[in-house]
Amino acid sequence: MSISPPTLPKLSVLIVDDSRVVRKLVAEILLEAPEIETCVEAEDGRRVLEMCERVDFDVIVLDLTMPELDGLATLELLKMNGNYPPVVVFSACAERGAQATIRALLAGASDYVTKPVSDDLDAARAQMRRELLPRVVALGLDNAMGQTSVRARSSERRERLGASGAINPTGQLRTFDIITVGASTGGPNALVQFLSALPRPLSVPVVVVQHLPSTFTPAFVANLARHTGLNVHEAYAGAELDAADVWLAPGGRHLMIRSEKSGNELAFSDQPPENACRPAVDVLFRSVAACYGERAVGILLTGMGLDGLNGSQILARSGGTILAQDHASSVVWGMPGAVVDAGLASYIGNPTELAKWLRSCLNNKPHKIPQPS
């Protein structure tokens, strides 16, 4: 007897922008998706708060520059009022807009899409279909369905790992010479939590690929440094990997590590995108596997898609250790969920738990994996 696939819920989206033209255009594009049933419009943040008290929306598409109550203030008030749906920031890509978007992501927004800059309506529509539509649908379905079966698989995997009591079969403590991290949707918040919980001073370098455009990278580096108190830098070619530093891949270029006579250093590649991403986590993890092998740990945090799966497979085969964020704390469990489903993750937890596990290893203390709560 065949089993029918589960019926997908119909989504309701709230579009917030002070421009009526933009609201209508966004609604036109979103309603092309069969998963989206209704699009409701609001012209400012105060209207959003009123509407969210009466209606349960699945996703909010939020402009940041609005009169009366701007997007950032709206987001903060939504957080204060309790549970709120995933928020996709729909903002300009100028330097000021990039800084505001990073602040919004760190304040709890799930993802962002830059507004089209072309005056060509057909080009603008194409960009929104390519970038905004899939994000809204994915976040809305994840929010509406809860993905109970995915959570159950994650829980079962955690229980099996927890029962073993050690990261490796022999139970011997493993130490690392480098921490590498990949993240995408929801990553800015997860990275702040993870980095803030690492030991001080850092005894190994941390290299991060977070999917962001190049215009956003400087603002994100500055905000990460301010929120975590760590030495955070935008990566540059030839940089030596200092144990006390965190290095963030710039948008638009693949970041790698290569071995030189003087030691390992950062390098770039302008090869085509992988998994529709540049920088790609896979590229970084493959280079880490070649340079560090079993002395490396690769961590997959919240993110949409499969970037990091191939690189994690190669890193695991070289003896490296893979950790993954759990579903409960992820905005989207695509990237970490893929490595869990592939059986690659040696430990699954929220960002703070992942850092605490690493802290035990880096401090050279005996470590038992905590049982899942």
* CATH code for the domain defined by 11-145: 3.40.50.2300
Answer for the pair 117, 91: CB distance below 8 angstroms, yes or no: no
Residue 35 has a pLDDT of 95
Active site residue 111: no
The one catalytic residue in 184, 287, 312, 346 is 184
Q: Is the pLDDT of residue 37 over 70?
A: yes
Q: Is the pLDDT of residue 321 over 60?
A: yes
* pLDDT tens string 191-243: 999 999 999 889 999 999 999 988 899 999 999 999 999 999 999 999 999 88
Residue 162 has a pLDDT of 40
Q: Is the pLDDT of residue 258 over 60?
A: yes
Answer for the pair 192, 106: CB distance below 8 angstroms, yes or no: yes
Strands 59-62 and 347-349, by their bridges, are unpaired
Residue 186 has a pLDDT of 93
Quote the CA–CA distance of 185 and 87 in Å, as a whole number.
11
Q: Which of 1-15, 62-76, 230-244, 256-270 has the lowest mean pLDDT?
A: 1-15
pLDDT tier, 159 (very low <50, low <70, confident <90, very high otherwise): very low
Take residue 244 and report the two structure tokens written for it: 């006390």
Active site residue 4: no
DSSP string, 40-63: EEESSHHHHHHHHHH---SEEEE-
In CATH, 148-362 is 3.40.309.10:
no
> Mean pLDDT throughout 128-152?
78
pLDDT tier, 363 (very low <50, low <70, confident <90, very high otherwise): low
Quote the CA–CA distance of 143 and 187 in Å, as a whole number.
17
Q: Which residue ranges does the chain devote to CATH 3.40.50.180?
A: 148-362
> Mean pLDDT throughout 100-123?
90
Which of left, alpha, beta for 128 (phi over 0: left; psi -120 to 50: alpha)?
Answer: alpha
The one catalytic residue in 211, 254, 327, 367 is 211
Question: Residue 294: enclosing H or E segment and its boundaries?
Answer: none
252 residue type, one letter: G
Instruction: Kindly give, in sequence order, each residue whose CB lies less than 8 Å from that of residue 1, ignoring residues fewer than 6 positions away.
Output: none
The one catalytic residue in 307, 326, 329, 346 is 307
Residue 137 has a pLDDT of 95
Take residue 43 and report the two structure tokens written for it: 């012209």
Active site residue 233: no
Q: Which residue ranges does the chain devote to CATH 3.40.50.2300?
A: 11-145
Q: Is the pLDDT of residue 151 over 90?
A: no
